Amino acid sequence: MKLKLLLLLMVFVPIGLMAQGPITGTVTSSGDGAPLPGASVIIKGTTTGTTTDFDGNYKLNSVTSDATLVISFIGFITIEVPVNGQSRIDAVLQEDAQQLDEVVLTGYSAERKIDLTGAVTVVDIAPIEGQSLSSGNAMQALQGRVGGLFIEKSGDPTGLSSRILIRGLTTLGNNDPLYVIDGVPTKRQEVFASLNPATIESIQVLKDASASSIYGSRAANGVIVVTTKGGEKGERLSVSFNSNLSQQSERKQRYDMLNSQQRGEALWRASVNDGADPNAGYGEIYNFNWNNDFSNPVLNGVSVQPFVGGDSNVPVGDTNWQDELYKTGYVYNNELTVSTGTEKSSLLINLGYLKNTGMLKYTGYDRYTAKINGTTKLFNDKVKFGVNTQISTSNETLVSGDVGGAPTTGLSITLAPTIPVYDANDEFAGPLGAGYSDRNNPLLMQYLNRWDNATKNNFFGNVFAEINILDNLTFRSSLGLDFSDFKKKNIEPKVFNGFVTRSNNRLIYDTNKFSTISFSNTLNYKLELGKHRFGALLGIESIREDFDTIFAQADEFAVEQESYFVLSAATGARTNNGISTQYSLASQFGKLNYAYDDKYLASFTIRRDGSSRFGANNRYGIFPAATVGWRISQEEFLKDSNLISNLKIRAGYGEVGNQEIGNTARYGLYESRYGQNQAQLTGGFFEIYYNVGTAYDINGNNTGTLPSGFVSTQASNQNLKWETTKEWNYGIDFGFLENRISGSFDYFTRETTDILTTPPIASVIGEGQQRVLNGAATSAKGWELNVGYSNTWDNGFSLGVSTNFGAFKDEITFLPEEVRAAFPGTAQNSILGQSQTAIFGYRTNGLFQSQAEVDAHPTGGVQTGNARPGGIKIVDTDNNGIIDSNDRDFIGNTLPDLEYGIRLDVGYKNFDLSIFGSGVAGRIGVDSYMFWNNFVQGRDNAGLGVLNAWTPQNTSSNIPSLSLVNNFTDTSDYIFRNNSYFKIRNMQVGYSLPADVISKMAGMTGLRIYLQGENLFWFTPKGYIGSDPERIDVNRIPVPTVYSVGLNINF
Amino acid sequence: MKYNHKIIASVICATLLLTACSDNYLEYEPEGVLSSENVATAENAESLVIAAYAGIANDEMIGPLTHQWVFGSVRSDDAYKGGGGRGDVDVIDKYEQYNLTIADMGDWMAPRTWTDFYKAISRANFALSVINDIPDGEYAQKTTRQAELRFLRAHSHFMLKLIFKKIPYITENLTQEEIGQMSNDVDNDALWNTIAEDFLFAYENLPQAQEQVGRADRNAAAAYLAKLRLFQAYEQNDQHQVTSINTGRLQEVIDYADKVIGNLQPDFGENFLDGFDNGPESIWAAQFSINDGTTVGRVSFVTGLNSPHGTGLYGCCGFHLASQNMVNSFKTDANGLPLFDTFNNSDIFTNIDTNGTTPPDSGLSVDPRIDHTVGIPGRPFKYRNTVNDSGDMVYNFSWARDPGVYGYFGNMKEQQAPDCSCYVKEGPFVGTSKNVDFIRYADVLLWKAEALIQLNRWDEALPLINQVRNRAAASTQRPIDAGAADIYAISPYSSFPSKDYALKALMFERRLEFAMEGHRWYDLVRWGIAEETLNAYLAEEKTKRDFLANAQFTAGRDEYYPIPQREIDFTGGLYVQNPGY
């Protein structure tokens, strides 16, 4: 190509003019002919050069006529043009389909993308830019886009994901990935979540151990490497403004529940099936008119009693609690980016504001973010200083619980419809009289908790210096800080709500401070010797994390006003608690890259990590990795192939460590627990009432300060050592037809040994004798496939299709005998060989249709109460004629066998359209709606399905005959069903104003408006009855359906 | 270039320095906690004993240690589970219906009780192991504290034995490995003796009374030995059936009971009222406190589910409700004596007025203890008729949570008035600082009476039983002052015509005196009459309460709870399961 150009120039350009003079020209893109502002034009062999202006024009003074210009722009193929005496040189740059020189950061040093030999997905940022992030979480943009990256969302206004897994599960404990943002590591999801996509330069997902090993400890679950943008290059100011407004609704995700009248019918049916008089059980709520014949029951009619609990102040209601608790939510998300730079310095400032009004009433979230990145060069550009900062401050009010701690989200499904929202005096109504659950009006509870909030202040960033010691030797030093300040205020006013009351009020502050300081120093060396290219890296890193908590609580406030709830105003009992803890890591690492002739690639890394969590003998872990690659497409026999434009095969092996245990896990510890309850240690509902303290009223005074002692809280294990994951990865990258079709395939196998677990122990061993062990091993294998197609036709029509698939299978391969009982399974049928997400339960086989069928079926155990016509038939798996707990078996896994995503981009002239869908297949899960739709639970409302339950007259139903006492809700394939799905997650239509229109607006370079819909449709298997299959916990706010309108403006 | 070399050199130095420093950098001593060496010192001995005491009262609402309403009352003919229908805390429903047929029964109740008692045992053993190593001269209370700790350890094992029968006995000289290899398959009589050894050590080494009333003393040890020997006297086979009664053990019961110094409270109700903790009747009790610097007070929540549910004065959840059978048992005849065989022929307090009360039938007479024990519509609750104008304290039909299933009678002994300074409501549940008595002096009197009757000395038992009855007879003022209709009639027995009669009188007296205190079940199993009593009870009671329709007691299985399956699993199948599970 270059040769051809040179020949052309030699033919047409007269030779021999060696004069000096100015040169001007315009640099444009070959694709659309648009000017390329900011392209670099440099005289070869010198540092003299310039960049193009807004219109792609440049001017160079005093260029000798024999000079050669090097013209480059990111994402385009660099060209060299001999001047040959011309005074005007216009250049047309070809887009670089192969992105030959695209450089990505993968572990303390930059590498050319084409040189990568590990399983690294470089996320395509383009489609994420300008996308509405209705959750305010950058992670939302990655869901379904990266093969092997599994993300479960929640509908909380904070937008945080409930689970993020790279290549499934590695260990038995914490499986969170490591984030490395501008070189600073963190395990905190919210740091990544608060990044504005407009400031993200690149995201690399390091999936296998050979790629992540350089990050050593904490990298075992994969690494997400993020680089944020610096400022503009060249003397230029760029301003971009993105704004969007989203409307959120959970209406499609709701469960259909019974109205007051229907609930009466269901309760009647369930009561008479049980042989119980429905008027005795529910006579205070309903008046059942029936024939009183249990052998052939007929309901003539059911009427709702006019008052709740007979209280004439509380007329009965017909409440749809989901209607009452939820409203349409709105998200406003605005961000402004200003970026500028000179030859020496650059600066980027990004400000963002997000407000989510919440769908659940009285909830909400708002967040301010600020980012300032700046660099400057000194000493002849030999030294570069820089700073990257990410600041966020947020305020949230989330789901509340009732007096008994039940979340209002769940209550909006389960609370009886006969309770009205308000009574006759316009006060909030509650349960009264017999037949109701001990639960409060959830709207009241949300209202009473409207003053609750949690504020989070995060500061994340680093300062760094890069020194070019030699041309090819760079020293970099970076000091990073990850800091968070958390303060949660919980005001618990008095509650008078039917018979569920709270007679005291209380203020609880739960605060903590977290800070991690990381200090890393690296030396990077690059060397080219002919066809040999070497890269070497040496580094050290130290990380220290501090965590402190202060918990304070006070009772009895004379006035229930928000402003009066401060700790000092309380007149009642006070409690405070707090802990301080710390850990540190010290590491040394090195990397060696080698490439020969751009064909043969090899890379070796080694890292030595020391962790304060381990004792002196086992403190250090050494984690090596090696990879090789062969770019077959560079070989002579393929170089000129029209079909194959890129082909690379890769293989790698790596080891990574895990130390995700408590900071003091190896010690035998005793604590003074004056009056703690178990909930303060582990949480839990009944645990609040479980005193685990060491104080005792030995004097029988009934009050006053008590004498107290000590209790063991943890047994020691001085032999605790690193958990290690070893992984093999084999990959192939390919591109066909000038890379119009491109993709990659990776296959991996992984073994994790010495897994850190805290197994339960026999109670006789005593209190606080549990300890952390290196106690288990798992293996996993899987593959990922990414295939994409993209093309642009001459008429301006462009089409892109990209797909990704990830498959994963894990297996527990070793568990010490004494640990097995802590896992599902039995001694005869243990979890060994199963996934750690395996579900162990009964198999069922439809419903009994007749008494004869019941009599012929084995009974016992859980079958006992369900041995009735219309009852669920439980399979006698071991064929011993008795149903017992040995009939349970492994019935499936909750992690999917396959995850996949597909994205379609269509562009025509100024319009763009994208559709993105993703799904999972091959998993089972609790279909939460089942508990209400297929069963009647006396105190809860039920779903519409119970009206179609099995009766002798309605035998085709798969919903068991109703009962208040015999509901088979044990773990079984009746409850755990295939909950695979495919979802259209995102559809977006955009329109960019034509260049000739916007150029008339002051300096504007781009203006695009778009409409977007999210979580629009989903497809679920037959037998799945719930709504959104991503809704696996009824106590979380559902993942909403969102419609957005947005604007992107660039100057 | 020289300049550059300097930089390289200093960078390398910094690298080396940091590496060398890193061992220091990685040292971290835990904060706010102690190591075993810090704790196991003579200075801490007293504190460790306190922690061991706390252990026996570290109750869970779903794993009781002190009050035995779940295991001892609901499972007997005294009470129903209550709550919001059968499914509410359904594990107790399984206990009540004798429907617990598999050992794998989840986590609540019996499995947690097992765990929590062994936690208490480990606290006592740790304190013992520290104290054993302190030279005698350096710790004046050494022997006393050793005796207290062995008492505490024996107490926990005793309770476990009543519930599970076959249990491993853990002592302080066992290593962790040895503890892990202790089987529960030990001879029944030998296990009683092992527990007795610890109580004997306590009996021989404790002072008669301790200045700090919460501590175990010689009095408590004597009472516990009387109790233990009484249970031991009724010898059981492997199917839990009583095969013989050991007269030697019965004599020990009498001997130890005679060593107990105590007295009955003047009024029966004072045993269940704040302000009378550690009185003359309280021989051995769990101490609770309030306003003591802990979050809500170190109060007892073990009966926290059991408050009357339908009134705003209390909280949740209406559990532990008197059975109709037990209410009927308080009927007395014209002579003021109980109706041994005919009490259940008719039901009392069944006519519900529109105002939610149940006026007594004319001519009805009852033992006054009913108004200290049961919430009855129309009768004052906890000797009150109002609470500071904030509510009516007369028990009402509307206080019942699920009358269609469980009727409308409530429990009273474990409740306190809502304006009591001992009362705290945390979330929906009520806790109180009222002590939970393990042994009341009335118990000691009746153990001795029982032993005497079984030894054919029923004449000597008569005054003991009458002592209890006379106190009951003198306990009418509180309810009457609160407005209760005086329908009381109670008299002492004039004589016992036969051993059989005396035994019936003793058994009936125990039921009335300790109704709903959680002893009834253990009495029935001790006497070997659980099956006949409970199946007869169920046959009648199920005609009044539908929910008992399928309940059936199975002898040889239901006398004890299954060993928690997880404990068998965690010890690699070391424990033997009780028969039938």
One-letter-per-residue 3-state SS of B79-120: EEEECCCCCCCHHHHHHHCCCCCCCCCCCCCHHHHHHHHHHH
Asked if B362 reaches chain A (Cβ–Cβ under 8 Å), the answer is no
CB atoms within 10 A of CB B173: 9
Instruction: Give me the pLDDT at residue A8, please.
Output: 42
Instruction: Give me the pLDDT at residue B18, please.
Output: 52
Chain A residues lying within 8 Å of B26, measured CB to CB: 584-586, 610-612, 619
Nearest-Cα residue of chain B relative to residue A588: B19
From A429's Cα to the closest Cα of chain B, the distance in A is 14
User: Quick one: which of A922, A880, A876 has its CA closest to A899?
Assistant: A922
From B286's Cα to the closest Cα of chain A, the distance in A is 9
User: In B, residues 147-206, which contact A (CB 8 Å cutoff)?
Assistant: 168, 170, 176, 179-180, 182
User: Taking chain B, what is the end-to-end CA distance rounded to the nearest angstrom?
Assistant: 85
Is residue B563 within 8 A of residue B577, CB to CB? The reply is yes
Given a cut of 70, whether residue A881 has pLDDT beyond it is yes
Higher pLDDT pick, A191 / B286:
B286
pLDDT tens digits, A369-428 = 999 999 998 888 889 999 999 999 999 999 999 888 889 999 999 999 999 999 999 999
Instruction: Give me the pLDDT at residue A11, please.
Output: 39
Judged by CB atoms closer than 8 Å, whether chains meet at B176 and A619 is answered as no
Tell me the torsion sign for CA atoms A1024, A1026, A1032, A1038. Answer: positive
Assign A7 a pLDDT band (cuts: 50, 70, 90).
Answer: very low
| pTM, two decimal places | 0.84
Instruction: Give me the pLDDT at residue A552, please.
Output: 94
Q: A80 φ, ψ to 5°? A: -115, 130
User: Quick one: which of A933, A940, A1027 has its CA closest to A414?
Assistant: A940
Buried b / exposed e over B262-299, threshold 16 CB at 10 Å, is bebbebbbbbbbbebbbbebbbbbbbbbbbbbbbbbbb
Is residue A561 within 8 A of residue A584, CB to CB? The reply is no
From A969's Cα to the closest Cα of chain B, the distance in A is 12
Is residue B25 within 8 A of residue A659, CB to CB? The reply is no
Higher pLDDT pick, A964 / A217:
A964
Residue A311 and residue B50: Cα distance in Å, rounded?
Answer: 51
Residue B55 and residue A708: Cα distance in Å, rounded?
Answer: 11
User: Quick one: which of B559, B528, B563 has its CA closest to B98?
Assistant: B559
Chain B residues lying within 8 Å of A691, measured CB to CB: 54, 57-59, 294, 298, 301
Tell me the torsion sign for CA atoms A564, A566, A569, A570. Answer: positive
From A259's Cα to the closest Cα of chain B, the distance in A is 21
Is residue A397 within 8 A of residue A447, CB to CB? The reply is no
Instruction: Give me the pLDDT at residue B414, please.
Output: 97
Is residue A1010 within 8 A of residue A212, CB to CB? The reply is no
Query: Exposure of A763 by Cβ count < 10 A (0-12 exposed, 13-18 middle, 19+ buried)?
Result: buried
User: Taking chain A, what is the end-to-end CA distance rounded to the nearest angstrom?
Assistant: 35
Judged by CB atoms closer than 8 Å, whether chains meet at A937 and B4 is answered as no
From B445's Cα to the closest Cα of chain A, the distance in A is 24
* Average pLDDT rounded to a whole number, residues A1045-1049: 88
DSSP three-state, residue B335: coil
Residue B192 and residue B246: Cα distance in Å, rounded?
Answer: 13
DSSP three-state, residue A1025: coil
Query: In degrees to the nearest 10, what's the CA dihedral of A52, A58, A62, A65?
Result: 100
Of A504, A703, A885, which is closest to B290 when you measure between CB atoms? Answer: A703
Nearest-Cα residue of chain B relative to residue A967: B87
User: Quick one: which of A584, A386, A621, A408 has its CA closest to A497?
Assistant: A408
Tell me the torsion sign for CA atoms A153, A156, A159, A165. Answer: negative
User: Quick one: which of A106, A81, A96 has its CA closest to A23?
Assistant: A81
Instruction: Give me the pLDDT at residue B311, please.
Output: 80
Which token pair is A147? 């093969």
Tell me the torsion sign for CA atoms A608, A611, A617, A623. Answer: negative
DSSP string, A370-423: EEEEEEEEETTTTEEEEEEEEEEEEEEE---B-TT--BHHHHHHHS-TTS-SB-
Of B22, B87, B547, which is closest to A937 when you measure between CB atoms? Answer: B87
Instruction: Give me the pLDDT at residue B16, please.
Output: 47
Chain B residues lying within 8 Å of A584, measured CB to CB: 25-26, 28
Residue A618 and residue A230: Cα distance in Å, rounded?
Answer: 41
3-class SS string, B221-276: HHHHHHHHHHHHHEEECCCCCEEEECHHHHHHHHHHHHHCCCCCCCCHHHHHCCCC
Which token pair is B70? 């779940």
Is residue B147 within 8 A of residue B205, CB to CB? The reply is yes
Nearest-Cα residue of chain B relative to residue A283: B404
Cα–Cα separations (whole angstroms), residue A394 to A333, A455, A482, A484, A511: 14, 5, 16, 11, 14
Buried b / exposed e over A26-61, threshold 16 CB at 10 Å, is bbbbeeeeebbbbbbbbbeeeeebbbbbeebebebe
Chain B residues lying within 8 Å of A701, measured CB to CB: 289
From B128's Cα to the closest Cα of chain A, the distance in A is 13
Which token pair is A21? 């003079």
Strands A600-611 and A773-792: unpaired
Instruction: Give me the pLDDT at residue B77, please.
Output: 97
* Average pLDDT rounded to a whole number, residues A466-473: 89
Judged by CB atoms closer than 8 Å, whether chains meet at A938 and B104 is answered as no
Inter-chain CB pairs, A–B, below 8 Å: 352
Of B11, B122, B566, which is closest to A767 when you measure between CB atoms? Answer: B122
Residue A970 and residue A841: Cα distance in Å, rounded?
Answer: 8
Angle between helices B441-454 and B247-259 (to 10 degrees): 150
Judged by CB atoms closer than 8 Å, whether chains meet at A671 and B34 is answered as yes
Of B86, B294, B572, which is closest to A695 when you measure between CB atoms? Answer: B294
User: Quick one: which of A263, A281, A307, A276 has its CA closest to A431?
Assistant: A307
Average pLDDT, chain A: 86
Residue B100 and residue A714: Cα distance in Å, rounded?
Answer: 34
User: Quick one: which of B376, B379, B381, B380 has its CA closest to B414?
Assistant: B381
Which token pair is B493? 């027995």
Lowest average pLDDT, out of A87-101, A223-237, A778-792, B201-215, goes to A87-101
Judged by CB atoms closer than 8 Å, whether chains meet at B291 and A663 is answered as no
Given a cut of 50, whether residue A723 has pLDDT beyond it is yes
Chain B residues lying within 8 Å of A292, measured CB to CB: none
Residues with Cβ within 8 Å of residue A440, at least 6 apart in sequence: A402, A403, A404, A406, A411, A430, A431, A495, A497, A498, A500
Q: Which residue has the tokens 């805290």?
A: A758
Instruction: Give me the pLDDT at residue A738, please.
Output: 80
Residues with Cβ within 8 Å of residue B555, at least 6 apart in sequence: B239, B240, B241, B530, B531
From A541's Cα to the closest Cα of chain B, the distance in A is 9
pLDDT tens digits, B103-134 = 566 789 999 999 999 999 999 999 999 999 99
Which token pair is A825? 């399974």
* Average pLDDT rounded to a whole number, residues A1017-1030: 87
User: In B, residues 472-511, which contact A (CB 8 Å cutoff)?
Assistant: none
pLDDT tens digits, A824-866 = 887 778 889 999 889 999 999 999 999 999 999 998 878 877 8
Instruction: Give me the pLDDT at residue B103, please.
Output: 57
Nearest-Cα residue of chain B relative to residue A884: B102
Write down the ipTM of this complex.
Answer: 0.94
pLDDT tens digits, A60-96 = 887 887 888 888 876 677 778 888 778 888 887 776 6
* Average pLDDT rounded to a whole number, residues B542-565: 91
Judged by CB atoms closer than 8 Å, whether chains meet at B405 and A281 is answered as yes
Assign A537 a pLDDT band (cuts: 50, 70, 90).
Answer: very high
Residue B218 and residue B220: Cα distance in Å, rounded?
Answer: 5
User: In B, residues 405-444, which contact A (CB 8 Å cutoff)?
Assistant: 405, 418, 422, 425-429, 431, 433, 435
Of A581, A712, A827, which is closest to B573 when you measure between CB atoms? Answer: A827
Judged by CB atoms closer than 8 Å, whether chains meet at B289 and A612 is answered as no
CB atoms within 10 A of CB A792: 15
Respond yes or no on whether the N-terminal peptide bond of residue B13 is cis (omega within 30° of 0): no
From A736's Cα to the closest Cα of chain B, the distance in A is 46
Judged by CB atoms closer than 8 Å, whether chains meet at B23 and A504 is answered as no
User: In B, residues 96-125, which contact A (CB 8 Å cutoff)?
Assistant: 99, 101-102, 104, 114-115, 118-123, 125
* Average pLDDT rounded to a whole number, residues A109-124: 79
From B353's Cα to the closest Cα of chain A, the distance in A is 15
Nearest-Cα residue of chain A relative to residue B47: A709
From A964's Cα to the closest Cα of chain B, the distance in A is 8
Q: Which residue has the tokens 């073994």?
A: A751
Instruction: Give me the pLDDT at residue B276, please.
Output: 96
Higher pLDDT pick, A306 / A760:
A306
Which token pair is A733? 């990258």
Cα–Cα separations (whole angstroms), residue A369 to A458, A670, B170: 9, 42, 59
Nearest-Cα residue of chain A relative to residue B10: A475
Chain B residues lying within 8 Å of A433, measured CB to CB: 310, 398
User: In B, residues 130-149, which contact A (CB 8 Å cutoff)?
Assistant: none
Assign A3 a pLDDT band (cuts: 50, 70, 90).
Answer: very low
Nearest-Cα residue of chain B relative to residue A278: B404
Lowest average pLDDT, out of A933-942, B8-17, B155-164, goes to B8-17
Q: Which residue has the tokens 């005792």?
A: A696
Given a cut of 60, whether residue A706 has pLDDT beyond it is yes
Interface test with B, best of A500, A549, A689, A712 (most B CBs within 10 A): A689
Tell me the torsion sign for CA atoms A554, A557, A562, A568. Answer: negative
Residue B72 and residue B66: Cα distance in Å, rounded?
Answer: 11
